[in-house]
Homo-oligomer: A and B are copies of this chain.
Amino acid sequence: MTKRILGIDPGLLHTGWAIIESAGSTRKYIASGVILPKKTGELAERLAIIFNGVTELCKKFEPDEASMEITFVNKNPQTTLILGHARAAAMVAISVQNIPVFEYEPNRIKKILTGGGHADKTAVDKMVRILLPGANPKTPDESDAIAIALAHANTTQLQRFIS
């Protein structure tokens, strides 16, 4: 059974996205890109750009499932709070269309793709290109979104294998 997965790497400046197809052990690159809310302007308007962008992606590509990173509070809690807003805007756009959203810890995504939980962005990007021929991400956000989609595909394949 072929499953279409939407990977999202949310951010108030750049929200990376990727669509891949997964069937058994086969992965196929469909599309990827970045939603760019304007740099200035009210928070509410910028969230609306993310929401509308993700809504459009769901309508255009009709993914079966979506995958996102879990956000943890880091050294700058105020920045994390704003990231949480961007994340929620993307998440709710998917959820209101009844597409299930799966959440993964960042280290788990890195581990699934590279074997190590602390791989840097370059290592993740390299694995994305190896695992998904045709993918040519132009920014780290796009690369991360593909990684998030791939991690979900590999996790659910594994779960099917075990059960």
Question: A residues near B, CB below 8 A?
Answer: 42-45, 47-48, 50-52, 71-73, 77-78, 80-82, 84-89, 91-96, 100-101, 103
CB distance from A148 to the nearest CB of B (A): 15
- Pick from A50, A72, A82, A84 the residue with the most CB of B within 10 Å: A84
Known: A43-B91, A77-B77, A91-B43. A51 touches B96 (CB 8 A): yes
In the complex the two chains form, is A48's CB within 8 Å of B81's CB?
Answer: no
In the complex the two chains form, is A84's CB within 8 Å of B88's CB?
Answer: yes
Known: A91-B47, A92-B89. A73 touches B84 (CB 8 A): no
Chain B minimum-CB-distance residue to A46: B95
In the complex the two chains form, is A45's CB within 8 Å of B88's CB?
Answer: no
CB distance from A106 to the nearest CB of B (A): 14
List 5 extra interface pairs beyond A44-B92, A73-B78, A77-B80, CB under 8 A: A51-B92, A51-B96, A72-B78, A84-B84, A85-B85
